[in-house]
C-alpha cells in the first residue's frame, strides 16, 4: 500500500494542478443521490437505462424493442425470489448482489452516463441466466417460453452489436474529430473526454474535467464534448444548478462552436 501510494504521489507531482482539476472534478458531488433518493432513482431509470434501451429522444420507434431486454432483467430479478424452493438455490443471493449494485449507482453515482452500465448489466445477465436454468429444471412446461425468451434477448443483443459495428463510430466520428483537433494551433489546455488521448497530438494539454473549469477557475483553449459529457451536463440541472448555469453562460459568452459532427462538438475560446 505504501509503495502504491508513493508511486501515485510521484505521478501526481508531475502536474499537481492538472491532477486537482481532473480528479477533483471527477469526484465532486458524486453522492447527491443520498439527499434526493427518489429523484435520483427516477433519473437513474430514465437516463441511464431507458435511454440505452430505446427510449432516448433521438431513438427511432423500432429501438423500443430493446426494452424487452430490460423487461427480461426485471422479471429475472423477481423470479429469483419466487417461487421459493428448498433446493439450496443461491439465485436470490445473485439477485440481491445485482440490486445492491443498482442501488449503489442510483444513490452514490450522480453522473448517469450509459457507460457505467458495464458494472450492472453483466450482473443482470447472470441473474437472467440463473433464473432461466432454474425454471427450466423445475418447470418443464415452461421450456418453450423460456427458449423463446432467450432467443429474443440474444437476438436483440446481436442486432444491437451488429448495428454498432455498422455505424463504425471510430472511423466516422472519432477520427474526423481528432483530425480536426490536430489541425488546430496547439492548445495550452483542452477539456475533453479521456478517449481523445489515443490519437490526440496535444496529449499533455488534455484534462477530463466534468465541470469544465467552473470549479477550478481554469479556462481551456478548447472544449470537446461527447454524448457522455452532454449527459453529465443534463445531470447538473438537478444536482448542481449553479454549475449548470456557469457552463451555459461560459458556452454562450466565452466560446464559439467550431466543429459539430455526430458524436463530438468542439468549442474554441473567443479571443
pLDDT of the chain along its 271 residues, tens only? 788 888 888 888 888 877 776 676 666 666 777 777 888 898 889 888 998 898 877 778 888 999 999 999 999 999 988 766 555 567 788 999 999 999 999 988 877 778 889 999 999 999 999 999 989 988 899 999 999 999 999 999 999 899 889 989 999 999 999 999 999 999 999 999 989 999 999 999 998 888 888 888 889 999 999 877 776 676 676 667 888 889 989 999 999 999 998 789 999 999 7
93 and 154, same domain (yes or no): yes
Asked, for residue 25, whether it belongs to a domain, the answer is: no
Based on the fold, state whether residues 145 and 199 are members of the same structural domain.
no
Strand 206-207 and strand 264-269: the pairing is unpaired
Q: Which of 133, 167, 201 is the last residue of a domain?
A: 167
Does 86 reside within a domain? yes
Domain of 134, in residue numbers: 37-167
Length of the chain: 271
CA gap 218, 17 in Å, rounded: 10
- Where among 99, 133, 167 does a domain terminate? 167
CA distance 180 to 71: 42
> Do 259 and 174 belong together in one domain?
yes
**Alpha carbon distance 198, 192 (integer Å):** 13
Residues 65 and 145 in one domain: yes
Task: Give the end of a domain, one of 132, 167, 202.
Answer: 167
Amino acid at each position: 500500500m505504501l509503495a502504491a501510494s508513493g508511486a501515485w504521489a510521484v505521478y501526481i507531482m508531475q502536474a499537481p494542478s492538472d491532477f486537482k482539476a481532473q480528479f477533483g472534478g471527477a469526484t465532486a458531488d458524486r453522492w447527491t443521490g443520498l439527499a434526493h433518493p427518489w429523484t435520483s432513482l427516477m433519473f437513474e431509470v430514465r437516463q441511464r437505462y431507458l435511454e440505452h434501451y430505446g427510449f432516448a429522444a433521438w431513438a427511432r420507434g423500432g429501438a423500443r424493442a430493446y426494452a424487452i431486454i430490460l423487461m427480461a432483467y426485471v422479471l429475472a430479478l423477481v423470479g429469483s425470489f419466487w417461487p421459493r424452493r428448498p433446493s439450496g438455490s443461491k439465485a436470490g443471493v445473485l439477485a440481491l448482489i445485482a440490486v445492491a449494485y443498482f442501488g449503489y449507482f442510483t444513490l452514490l453515482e450522480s453522473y448517469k452516463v450509459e457507460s457505467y452500465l458495464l458494472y450492472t448489466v453483466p450482473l443482470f445477465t447472470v441473474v437472467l441466466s440463473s433464473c432461466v436454468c432454474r425454471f427450466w429444471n423445475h418447470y418443464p412446461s415452461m421450456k418453450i417460453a423460456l427458449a423463446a425468451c432467450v432467443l429474443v434477448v440474444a437476438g436483440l443483443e446481436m442486432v444491437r452489436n451488429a448495428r454498432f459495428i455498422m455505424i463504425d463510430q471510430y472511423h466516422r466520428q472519432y477520427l474526423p474529430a481528432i483530425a480536426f483537433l490536430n489541425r488546430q494551433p496547439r492548445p495550452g489546455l483542452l477539456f475533453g473526454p479521456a478517449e481523445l488521448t489515443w490519437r490526440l497530438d496535444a496529449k499533455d494539454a488534455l484534462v477530463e474535467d466534468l465541470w469544465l473549469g467552473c470549479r477550478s477557475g481554469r479556462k481551456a483553449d478548447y472544449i470537446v464534448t461527447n454524448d457522455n459529457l452532454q449527459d453529465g451536463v443534463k445531470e447538473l440541472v438537478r444536482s448542481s444548478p449553479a454549475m449548470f448555469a456557469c457552463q451555459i453562460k461560459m458556452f454562450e459568452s466565452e466560446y464559439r462552436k467550431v466543429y459539430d459532427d455526430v458524436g463530438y462538438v468542439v468549442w474554441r475560446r473567443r479571443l
